[in-house]
């Protein structure tokens, strides 16, 4: 049985609650009788208040001392990351964005004004946070902080500045590792812990560089566990991947905290601050951190191989709700994951899983039903899609066999599947030419975008009709064909179904007058094209339709 020393923070909270719950009846106040003259006397010296005589002051002192100790221990490990980003297509706006030079705003924080006119490409500066991983000079931060970095500098708490280079990145966990170059100073690695031991209500302390204000500490609690955040990568079918087991905290987190630390009352890392939910772009008491259990798995692989391979089943699913269960003639209390679609040739496909085969209207919304329902994996019951994602991330590795318990037409079956490495992003898979030219790299026409299909929820958030079809531009590669043509990627984060989604970019509705509604449509439209070919795209921007000419290029070497 694990025992744990109760910290001064916990003692203070307990005492504060106990004392506030106690009260004594005040003595009746008596006013002095009026006199004709007031005698001036030296006031009687009161005895000094001591922590022994006042438990509130004593516990407060302990609380403050504990915070001071944690800050002194952790702060030398936390760094300010200064990034010069590669030239990107800048945009003039009707209202100046006050967060333009703060790191991570275009990805996780801030609300830039909607662009309406293009200006020449130019380098930009960005700031973020990070922390020392080990004494070999490796620094951990968020992928989105350094994803487009051309030059990186690291500033330590003592003011020392050193250059750094990217060692490895993982968009699927939004983690990255950079390494100091020619640095000879003393390094103070962070002490990590396992976030699987974290409980809701425990103290959570964030240290980072909000708004560029270096070495800022804020304090709160762990508000919730098991949240998910979508990544900036999609599958070949356009399905977004998610980061599981996210820690939610009310410790104030603001733009610039990205890549900083969330520690417990022992000063041990429990998460990497990555995102907030806010209508204003500033702290609203809902912050998200990538759990240390994920960090402890991903970072060593990034240091060793420059990448991390995530387990992949190859299916799109959703949580089985009572309405969905009833529509499929199942008990309304049935729990599990409804399989919506299965990737061709993927593990789920090879195992024989079946996707949904029909649609029904539930609460006025077209909904897919009829697929297999996964009720357990390796004997572990599944109540939601998040349970499945979490299990794959925490308990499986590439090449591992798993047993899936499913319901098909009301009958229980067991299927065997072998998980594989998560495939490359849309950008890497959507730019292949037709099969006859796959071996000819020079014939690969490249547009330089990553996309995701429009959904009713995304359309609603963007002020469009809920039945709007097309592909939403998520990212536009700097200097690529789409960038040069003036296309705009998504820049505004919103939370949809408790998941972070980037919106606000151009929506491609057709190519050469051919409707585009899925990633497959995009692949097909590009399959017959060659580098140098010009294509006409129809896009929707700010509710208006435009025609944009894009000159395709040859895909750059990876």
* Phi-psi category of residue 106: left, alpha or beta, with phi > 0 → left and psi -120 to 50 → alpha: alpha
Q: What single DSSP character describes residue 61?
A: H
Per-residue model confidence as pLDDT tens digits over 526-551? 887 888 999 999 999 988 999 999 99
What is the β-pairing status of strands 78-88 and 91-92?
unpaired
Degrees to nearest 5, angle at CA 516 with 538 and 238: 125
Residue 105: the pLDDT is 33
CB 86 within 8 A of CB 239: no
Instruction: Report how far residue 38's alpha carbon sits from residue 329's, in angstroms, rounded to the nearest whole number.
Output: 90
Degrees to nearest 5, angle at CA 343 with 502 and 347: 120
Q: Record the tokens describing residue 336, joined without a space.
A: 């599990």
Catalytic residue, chosen from 170, 174, 245, 387, is: 174
Environment class of residue 90 by beta-carbon count within 10 Å: exposed (0-12), middle (13-18) or buried (19+)?
Answer: middle
Q: Record the tokens describing residue 105, joined without a space.
A: 């705003």
Per-residue model confidence as pLDDT tens digits over 460-504? 889 999 889 999 998 888 788 998 999 998 877 666 754 667 788
Per-residue model confidence as pLDDT tens digits over 83-93? 987 655 443 33
Catalytic residue, chosen from 129, 173, 223, 258, is: 258
For the chain, count helices (H), then strands (E): 11, 34
Per-residue model confidence as pLDDT tens digits over 415-472? 999 999 987 643 333 332 232 233 333 346 889 888 989 998 899 889 999 889 999 9
CB 293 within 8 A of CB 394: yes
Catalytic residue, chosen from 77, 111, 144, 386, is: 144
CB 339 within 8 A of CB 352: no
Per-residue model confidence as pLDDT tens digits over 195-217? 889 999 999 999 999 988 999 99
Beta carbons within 8 Å of 350's beta carbon, 6+ residues apart: 417, 418
Q: Record the tokens describing residue 220, joined without a space.
A: 């709160």
Instruction: Report how far residue 142's alpha carbon sits from residue 98's, in angstroms, rounded to the nearest whole number.
Output: 22
CB 519 within 8 A of CB 430: yes
Nearest to 92 by CA among 472, 488, 507, 494: 488
CB 211 within 8 A of CB 260: no
Q: How many CA atoms lie within 13 A of 342 on its CB side?
A: 22
Instruction: Report how far residue 103's alpha carbon sits from residue 181's, in angstroms, rounded to the nearest whole number.
Output: 22
Instruction: Report how far residue 115's alpha carbon sits from residue 547's, in angstroms, rounded to the nearest whole number.
Output: 17
Sign of CA dihedral 507, 98, 289, 303: positive
CB 391 within 8 A of CB 377: yes
CB 493 within 8 A of CB 275: yes
Residue 285: the pLDDT is 82
Rounded mean pLDDT of 164-178? 93
Confidence of residue 376 (pLDDT cuts 50, 70, 90): very high
Q: Which domains does the chain have, with CATH numbers?
A: 52-310 (2.40.10.120), 311-421 (2.30.42.10), 426-554 (2.30.42.10)
Nearest to 448 by CA among 487, 422, 502, 505: 487
Instruction: Identify whether 174 is a catalytic site residue.
Output: yes
Sign of CA dihedral 484, 485, 488, 489: negative
* Lowest mean pLDDT across 72-76, 169-173, 278-282: 278-282
Which DSSP string corresponds to 403-468?
EEEEEETTEEEEEEEE-EEPPPPHHHHTT---GGGTT-GGG-EE--EEEEE--HHHHHHTTS-TT-
Beta bridge partners of 248: 224, 288
What is the model's pTM?
0.64
Q: What single DSSP character describes residue 318?
A: E
Sign of CA dihedral 209, 210, 215, 220: negative
Instruction: Identify whether 258 is a catalytic site residue.
Output: yes
Instruction: Identify whether 144 is a catalytic site residue.
Output: yes
Confidence of residue 182 (pLDDT cuts 50, 70, 90): confident
Q: Record the tokens describing residue 138, joined without a space.
A: 């490796």
């Amino acid at each position: 049985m694990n025992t744990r020393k109760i910290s001064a923070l916990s003692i203070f909270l307990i005492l504060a609650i106990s004392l506030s719950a106690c009260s004594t009846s005040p003595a009746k106040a008596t006013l002095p009788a009026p006199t004709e003259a007031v005698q001036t006397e030296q006031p009687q010296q009161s005895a000094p208040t001591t922590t022994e005589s006042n438990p509130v002051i004593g516990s407060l002192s302990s609380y403050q001392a504990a915070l001071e100790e944690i800050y002194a221990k952790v702060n030398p490990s936390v760094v300010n990351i200064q990034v010069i980003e590669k030239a990107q297509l800048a945009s003039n706006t009707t209202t100046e964005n006050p967060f333009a030079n703060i790191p991570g705003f275009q990805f996780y924080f801030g609300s830039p004004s909607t662009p309406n006119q293009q200006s020449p490409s130019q380098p930009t500066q960005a700031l973020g946070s990070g922390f020392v991983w080990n004494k070999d000079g490796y620094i951990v931060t968020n992928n989105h902080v350094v994803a487009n970095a051309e030059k990186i500098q690291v500033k330590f708490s003592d003011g020392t500045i050193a250059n750094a280079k990217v060692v490895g990145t993982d968009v699927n966990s939004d983690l990255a590792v950079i390494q100091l170059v020619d640095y000879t100073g003393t390094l103070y690695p962070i002490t990590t812990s396992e976030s699987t031991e974290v409980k809701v209500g425990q103290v959570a302390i964030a240290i980072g560089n909000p708004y560029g204000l270096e070495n800022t500490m804020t304090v709160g609690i762990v508000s919730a566990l098991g949240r998910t955040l979508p990544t900036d990568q999609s599958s070949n079918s356009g399905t977004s991947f998610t980061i599981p087991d996210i820690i939610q905290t009310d410790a104030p987190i603001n733009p610039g905290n990205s890549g900083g630390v969330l520690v417990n009352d022992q000063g041990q890392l429990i998460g990497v601050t990555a995102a907030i939910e806010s209508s204003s772009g500033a702290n609203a008491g809902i912050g998200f951190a990538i759990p240390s259990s994920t960090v402890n798995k991903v970072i060593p692989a990034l240091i060793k191989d420059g990448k991390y391979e995530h387990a992949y089943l190859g299916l799109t699913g959703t949580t089985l709700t009572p309405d969905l269960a009833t529509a499929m003639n199942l008990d309304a209390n049935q729990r599990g994951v409804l399989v919506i679609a299965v990737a061709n040739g993927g593990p789920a496909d090879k195992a024989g899983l079946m996707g949904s085969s029909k649609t029904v209207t539930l609460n006025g919304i077209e909904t897919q039903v009829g697929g297999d329902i996964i009720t357990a994996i390796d004997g572990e019951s599944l109540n939601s899609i998040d349970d499945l994602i979490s299990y794959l991330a925490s308990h499986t590795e590439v090449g591992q066999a798993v047993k899936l318990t499913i319901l098909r037409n009301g009958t229980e079956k067991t299927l065997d599947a072998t998980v594989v490495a998560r495939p490359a992003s849309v950008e890497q898979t959507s730019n292949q030419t037709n099969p006859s030219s796959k071996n000819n790299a020079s014939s690969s026409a490249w547009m330089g975008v990553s996309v995701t299909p429009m959904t009713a929820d995304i359309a609603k958030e963007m002020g469009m009709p809920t039945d709007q079809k097309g592909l939403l531009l998520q990212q536009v590669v700097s200097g690529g064909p789409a960038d040069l043509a003036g296309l705009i990627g998504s820049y505004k984060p919103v939370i949809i179904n408790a998941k972070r989604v980037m919106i606000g970019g151009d929506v491609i509705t057709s190519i050469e007058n051919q409707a585009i509604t899925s990633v497959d449509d995009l692949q097909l439209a590009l399959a017959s094209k060659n580098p140098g070919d010009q294509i006409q795209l129809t896009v929707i921007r700010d509710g208006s339709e435009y025609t944009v000419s894009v000159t395709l290029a040859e895909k750059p070497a990876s």
